[in-house]
Amino acid sequence: MGKSFSEIINEMITMPNIQWPEVWTAIVETLYMTVVSTIFAFILGLILGVLLFLSAKGKSIGARLFYSIVSFIVNLFRAIPFII
């Protein structure tokens, strides 16, 4: 007929079809990608934040133009997580 209820439960608990070395490799790769992207985002955000602070409004015409451009780029990147 089929597997008994206890056989199904035993199979669910022991998980015989899972290759644990592959799971651990995938976990390590995921953590690596997360850490690298976090560091990259931190550095990029810090640079853009400092540029925006240094070229804040009330400065020269060139600084205001630069501020407008960098501010536009920041606002553009801010919308990307909602697009994805």
Which phi and psi angles does 55 have, rounded to 5°? -110, 30
67: CB partners within 8 A, 6+ apart: 52, 55, 56, 57, 59
pLDDT tens-digit profile of 29-84? 999 999 999 999 899 989 988 888 888 876 777 788 888 888 898 888 888 876 65
